[in-house]
């Protein structure tokens, strides 16, 4: 079984400041080292995601057990795997997806302005490098 089949993959915008901070947040609370990470702009995304999913940099995509999840559905899928206080966000899972996606889209539209845009995707820390699937 490949790494990608054993673990959910979190695909993110590699040049987004918020996305990169979010990946660091997931790494911190992913105590069981469940997630693997790849950029939406990388070769792994080309292999596993549709063109539409790769081009929509306004949404993270979680590929888990062969099913892809986007926007707030991806967020709740991520939180489900985490440990500690971040699981409190699961309380908001009862909200209609249309409402939680409105909030998600609002943050996504403003993320570059609020958190910046990087010139390039930063290299992962060597301590967690094996969890990143893209070649660096």
Over residues 19-37, the mean pLDDT reads 95
* pLDDT tier for residue 102 given thresholds of 50, 70 and 90: very high
Give the span between the Cα atoms of 62 and 70, in whole angstroms: 7
pLDDT digits (tens, 9 = 90+) for 86-100: 999 999 989 999 999
pLDDT digits (tens, 9 = 90+) for 4-23: 568 999 999 999 999 999 99
pTM for the whole thing?
0.90
8 A C-beta contact, residue 14 and residue 40: yes
What pLDDT score does 1 carry?
A: 35
What pLDDT score does 32 carry?
A: 94
* pLDDT tier for residue 121 given thresholds of 50, 70 and 90: confident
Cα distances from 49 to residues 32, 112, 117, 120, in angstroms, run 25, 23, 23, 21
What pLDDT score does 5 carry?
A: 62
């Amino acid at each position: 079984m490949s790494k990608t089949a054993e673990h959910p993959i979190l695909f993110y915008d590699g040049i987004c400041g918020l996305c990169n901070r979010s990946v660091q947040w997931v790494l911190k609370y992913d105590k069981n080292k469940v997630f693997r990470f790849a950029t939406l702009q990388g070769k792994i995304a080309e292999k596993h995601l549709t063109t539409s999913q790769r081009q929509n940099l306004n949404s993270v995509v979680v590929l888990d057990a062969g099913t892809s999840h986007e926007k707030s559905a991806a967020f709740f899928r991520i939180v489900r795997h985490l440990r500690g206080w971040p699981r409190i966000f699961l309380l908001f899972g009862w909200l209609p997806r249309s409402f939680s996606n409105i909030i998600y889209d609002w943050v996504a539209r403003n993320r570059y302005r609020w958190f910046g845009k990087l010139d390039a995707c930063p290299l992962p820390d060597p301590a967690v490098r094996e969890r990143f699937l893209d070649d660096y």
